[in-house]
Amino acid sequence: MPGDMNSVDETHARPTGVDDTTVEALGALSEALETIHRVRGHLYSAHQLVGGADLTLDRAVRLLREAGHNEVADRIERELVGRNVLPGRWTFQVVEEFDDGYYATFQEVERYARDKLAGGRRHIYEAEMKERRRTHGMPGHEATPQE
């Protein structure tokens, strides 16, 4: 298949000697990393949502006190305001641990595999798929921005 890929830009071209199975494997690894990028985004969303909810509890407590429901307000303040979401952790700590541990390791291992097996080139699988699926000469189907 590499011979059919003459319009793939150099940064995404398959290096000589790299077989189809290796390209497919690197594509799967890249897809898995993209999923982990999404997970990271969801963790940051959760971080912001939990923080916002915690701050909104202040308003609920104030309104409950204004309405004369001090016992309920006290329980919310005591049990929910500032509560850890996991033992000993607020969400910022969860995000930091994820970023510094699993996420960083995943990125490093994916980069290692690309460097070792494909000269560091990214998205070879996708670039070849693009070349197979585009309509040559049709507007909006250019191989590169320069075409």
Distance CA 122, CA 20 (A): 15
Predicted TM-score of the model (pTM):
0.84
Indicate whether 71 pLDDT > 60: yes
Tens-place pLDDT, residues 89-140: 999 999 999 999 999 999 999 999 999 999 999 999 999 999 999 999 899 9
Secondary structure class of 139 (helix, strand, coil): coil
- 128 close to 3: Cβ distance less than 8 angstroms: no
Distance CA 29, CA 113 (A): 9
